Amino acid sequence: MNITKRQLRRIIKEEKLKLLSEMNPDSTISGDEDAERKALMSNAENEMFDLIQHVRDEAERIGGGFRSPGIRSEVYKMMTNMLRDTR
């Protein structure tokens, strides 16, 4: 099925109006978006803290006091690259 430019513009305009009508005055979509975002941030922070602590513990177990800083550094670089690649 082919659609004309005019039809496409009309569809886009209708969808935009539908989104704008659903939007709250503060530009959020759902009523609890702010609370959900805060919960997500808190959960992500806790998970990251646990992961960092796990890396520290395992690096110490594997490499002891001498080699654990290098092991941690290697893991942290890998984590940084993974985070950068998700953007």
Give whole-number Cα distances, 31 to 23, 25, 37, in Å: 9, 10, 12
Query: How confident is the model at residue 53, as a pLDDT?
Result: 94
Residues lower than pLDDT 50 in the chain = none
Neighbours of 55 (CB within 10 A): 18
Query: How confident is the model at residue 31, as a pLDDT?
Result: 66
Between CA 56 and CA 66, with CA 62 as vertex, the angle to 5 degrees is 80
User: Which domain does 19 fall in, by range?
Assistant: 5-85
Q: How many domains does the chain have?
A: 1
Query: How confident is the model at residue 26, as a pLDDT?
Result: 65
Residue 19, C-beta contacts closer than 8 angstroms, at least 6 positions apart: none
